[in-house]
Amino acid sequence: MASSPDPGQWWRTAIIDIAPGTIRVRGYAIEDLIGAVSFPEMIWLMLRGDLPSADQAALLGAVLVAAVDHGPQAPSIAIARMAMTCGVGVNNAMASAVNALGDVHGGAGQQCMELYAAVDGRAGHGIALNAAAGAEIGARLLRREHVPGFGHRFHPVDPRAGRLLSLVDDAASRGAVGGRFAAIGRAVEEALAAAKGKRLPMNIDGATAVVLSELGFAPDEGRGLFILSRSVGILAHAMEQKAQGGRIKGPMPPGIAYTYDGAEPRALPRTTASAGGTTP
Ligand SMILES: CC(C)(COP(=O)(O)OP(=O)(O)OC[C@H]1O[C@@H](n2cnc3c(N)ncnc32)[C@H](O)[C@@H]1OP(=O)(O)O)[C@@H](O)C(=O)NCCC(=O)NCCSC(=O)C[C@@](O)(CC(=O)O)C(=O)O
């Protein structure tokens, strides 16, 4: 006979404990946290179980600032604005936009963190970092993969990446982080340029992957943190679009044609299955 589940074990959490009149997050009373910790510090506490150092909080905060918005041409932002003109609520607009963040757009930081870890692993066996990056990139290109975190459809150099890397360099010079993943990111960029014969710049996902790997986050936390950051831009654009009005805005103005490359106009066959005949 199956034993009935222990109701006390149905949900288990080390994150929060509440009782009437009491809310404790990771052991800290919420009223002590409110007004005392910044939002990045609170995110760190939630995910990691303890408060970050000032350097750690500053680097996480920098990632959250960097990824917040990339304008109405970024699919995540465009989708929020389009959804808002379709008569849905802000929660629908935000969810629609967040759902576009994946392996190709905004979510590639997760795969990039895995890539950096793979290079780190290869280099751990007496192989120099540049050779390890070259081997890893070579293998991926052989499989005809896009290397996550590199290349941009718009920026020849992504201004967010250089700034984030320089913050990691500063923190590494103080011993606040190791600097290993900044070196790996740069080695990957060089290996990719050498293999492709053209520079494919580290993009925002590649740079946030450096910072978050330095800080010890897991790859899927990297994706989640990008989503947290971009949600701010998504909300701002949704609200701006709401204020501007507009109904059913598509991805481009109706006057701009798309390309139709289907069948030529043709007549329906005289006999169709639903008309009781057979299609020729
Ligand atoms: C980002 C993009 C699709 C751009 O593509 P593109 O349009 O330039 O060109 P493609 O047609 O894909 O490739 C043309 C030629 O370059 C080669 N090639 C390009 N990238 C290559 C690469 N990584 N590894 C090997 N080869 C590559 C390709 O093999 C081909 O070579 P060939 O066949 O020889 O001609 C592409 O790089 C890519 O998938 N990256 C990896 C995924 C990634 O990191 N995603 C995050 C992007 S950041 C983001 O999402 C946030 C955003 O910034 C978004 C925004 O607003 O934009 C924001 O803040 O919202």
Give the pLDDT confidence of 165-208 residue by residue, as tens digits.
Answer: 999 999 999 999 999 999 999 999 999 999 999 999 999 999 99
Indicate the burial class of 212 (C-beta count within 10 angstroms; 0-12, 13-18, 19 or more): buried
**Distance from residue 105's CA to the centre of ligand 1 (Å):** 9
**Distance from residue 145's CA to the centre of ligand 1 (Å):** 11
Comparing CA positions, the residue from 217, 179, 188, 206 lying closest to residue 66 is: 206
Which DSSP helix (H) or strand (E) runs through 25?
A: strand 22-25
Ligand 1: which atom is nearest the Cα of residue 158? 53
Indicate whether 39 pLDDT > 90. Answer: yes
Indicate the burial class of 25 (C-beta count within 10 angstroms; 0-12, 13-18, 19 or more): middle
Summarised one tens digit per residue, pLDDT across range 113-149 is 999 999 999 997 778 999 999 999 999 999 999 999 9
Nearest CA to ligand 1 atom 34: 196
pTM of the entire structure?
A: 0.93
Q: Quick check: CB of 109 below 6 Å from ligand 1? A: no
Ligand 1: which atom is nearest the Cα of residue 71? 56
**Distance from residue 273's CA to the centre of ligand 1 (Å):** 46
ipTM associated with this complex:
0.97
What DSSP character marks residue 22?
E
Summarised one tens digit per residue, pLDDT across range 219-249 is 999 999 999 999 999 999 999 999 999 999 9
**Distance from residue 51's CA to the centre of ligand 1 (Å):** 36
Ligand 1 mutation pick, 68, 105, 198, max ligand atoms within 8 A of CB: 105
Q: For residues 44-72, give the mean pLDDT.
A: 98
| Residue 66 pLDDT grade (very low, low, confident, very high; cuts 50, 70, 90) | very high
Q: List, in sequence order, every residue forming a beta bridge with 29; answer none if it has no partner.
A: 24
Least-confidence region, from 48-52, 78-82, 194-198, 265-269: 265-269
56, 194, 264 from 267: Cα distances, Å: 67, 54, 10
**Mean of all residue pLDDT scores within the chain:** 95
Indicate whether 280 pLDDT > 70. Answer: no
Is the CA virtual torsion 187, 193, 199, 200 positive or negative? Answer: negative
